[in-house]
Amino acid sequence: MSRTFESGGAKVTKLTPHARINRGTDFHADWLDSIRVNMSAVERRTGTVTGRRTVKKDWQVAWMLKAISCIDLTTLSGDDTPGRVRRLCAKARRPVRRDLLQAIGAENMGLTTGAICVYHTMVPTAVAALEGSGIPVAAVSTGFPAGLAPMETRLQEIRASVAAGAREIDIVITRAHVLNQDWAALYDEVRSFREASGAAHLKTILATGQLGSLNHVARASMVCMMAGADFIKTSTGMEGVNANLPVSLVMIRMIRDFHERTGQEIGFKPAGGISKAKLAVAYLILIKEELGNKWLSPDLFRFGASSLLGDLERQIEYHATGRYSAAHRHSMG
């Protein structure tokens, strides 16, 4: 039986080119002065997301399909090969087995992941493998993951990835600027990355697990958006502490504040440690409640993940068949 998968804004739509580029604002130090994070309030708010009963049955499947459409399917290993990247791109084009989509009546929805994320050297391979799909290639850049390469080297890496066909650039900030509360230096750095990225989307990785406090996370988020970030992203996925709901709530609230001040819609990308379908749905619910349905789109929300897709597909198979499959039954995710 055919079903329409829509749940309060969770209707899945195929990614379309993102026309909006955040040109940023001047540096406003006074915007930072009033930022204060109440840790207890943050924990109470995020506790309501995971503590309540979750959505079930067809509604749950709708949210899981939405989650798949927002994944930046990622491989960032030292042993990456062109063959591995091509397999990942094939999975991005068809993230869920055709028989499962047919079983739930979703075979004609044109489901893909939001993007493929790779190192610069793999950008040409990914671009070629995704030709005609509309799926963008994101390149990690600026000395990822530490971000401690010379400035000119970092800028050259951005320009090279854009020239190779990357439509999105995931940069890492200099954490010392945040730890020293040198907000003007952070602004100037991200502004330079914005200019080097040209028409490509700039996703700024804060590495929140290394910033010391949620107040630092909040202020760094605001500064990056002032400087022209199209997305703010929690983590490289390689820190000791990566994405979590409290950090995400703080960043989401800064996105809302920036939007109220400027009218600019900035995207959010949690990355690292999100490997289960239930947690992915919790993130989507948080986005819906805090920012609204418009942000439930790969234009404005992404998961940085490599293993999440496998669990989402496994849960969809359970919904279609009533049985859980072994993880190895699902192709590379």
Q: Give tens-digit pLDDT for 43-85.
A: 999 999 877 767 778 889 999 999 999 999 999 999 999 999 9
> Between residues 3 and 234, which one has the greater pLDDT?
234
Q: Distance between CA 68 and CA 326 in Å, rounded?
A: 19
Instruction: Say what percent of the chain tops pLDDT 70.
Output: 92
> Which three-class secondary structure state does DSSP give residue 15?
coil
pLDDT at 321 over 90: no
pLDDT at 56: 79
Predicted confidence band of residue 4 (pLDDT cuts 50, 70, 90): very low
How far is 281 from 166, CA to CA, in rounded Å? 28
Mark whether 276 is an active-site residue: no
- Confidence band, pLDDT 50/70/90 cuts, at residue 251: very high
pLDDT score at 20 = 78
Q: What is the pLDDT of residue 298?
A: 96
Q: Catalytic residue at 170?
A: yes
Q: What is the mean pLDDT of the chain?
A: 91
CATH code for the part of the protein at 57-329: 3.20.20.70
| C-beta separation of 268 from 231 below 8 A | yes
Cα 138 from Cα 133, distance rounded (Å): 14
The structure tokens listed for 293 are: 């349905």
pTM over 0.95: no
Residue pair 232/202 in contact by the 8 Å Cβ criterion: no
Mean pLDDT of 107-122: 95
> If you average pLDDT over residues 150-160, what whole number do you get?
98
Residue type, 220: A
Q: How far is CA 274 from the centre of its chain?
A: 11
- Return the minimum-mean-pLDDT range out of 9-18, 86-95, 171-180, 284-293: 9-18
Q: How confident is the model at residue 189 (pLDDT cuts 50, 70, 90)?
A: very high
Catalytic-labelled residue, pool 269, 288, 299, 311: 269
Alpha-carbon distances of 93 from 87, 98, 162, 275, 330, rounded to whole Å: 10, 12, 22, 20, 15
Q: What is the mean pLDDT of residues 10-15?
A: 41
Residue 332: what pLDDT? 57
Residues 160-177, mean pLDDT to the nearest whole number: 98
Residue 103: count other Cβ atoms within 10 Å of its Cβ: 16
Give residue limits of the domains in the chain: 57-329
DSSP E strands in the chain: the ranges are 71-74, 115-118, 137-140, 168-172, 201-205, 231-233, 267-269, 303-305
Token pair belonging to 118: 């790779």
Token pair of 37 as six digits: 């994070």
Is-contact 204 173, C-beta < 8 A? yes
* pLDDT number for residue 52: 75
Label residue 316 by pLDDT band (50, 70, 90): very high
Annotated active-site residue 58? The verdict is no
Name the residue with tokens 């951005």.
Answer: 158
Among the listed residues 233, 288, 299, 311, the single catalytic one is 233
Handedness of CA 14, 17, 18, 20 (dihedral sign): negative
Strand, coil or helix: what is 232?
strand
The pLDDT, as a whole number, for residue 328 is: 67
Say yes or no to pLDDT of 267 above 90: yes
Residue 17's pLDDT is 43
> From the candidates 72, 170, 230, 299, which is the catalytic residue?
170
Residue 235 has pLDDT above 90, yes or no: yes
Structure tokens at 252: 């989401």
Asked if 305 and 50 touch (Cβ cutoff 8 Å), the reply is no
Burial of residue 240 (number of CB atoms within 10 Å: 0-12, 13-18, 19+): exposed
**pLDDT at position 322:** 84
Instruction: Give the three-class secondary structure for 305.
Output: strand
pLDDT score, position 134: 96
Residue labelled with tokens 């359970």: 318
Calculate what percentage of the chain has a pLDDT beyond 90.
Answer: 81
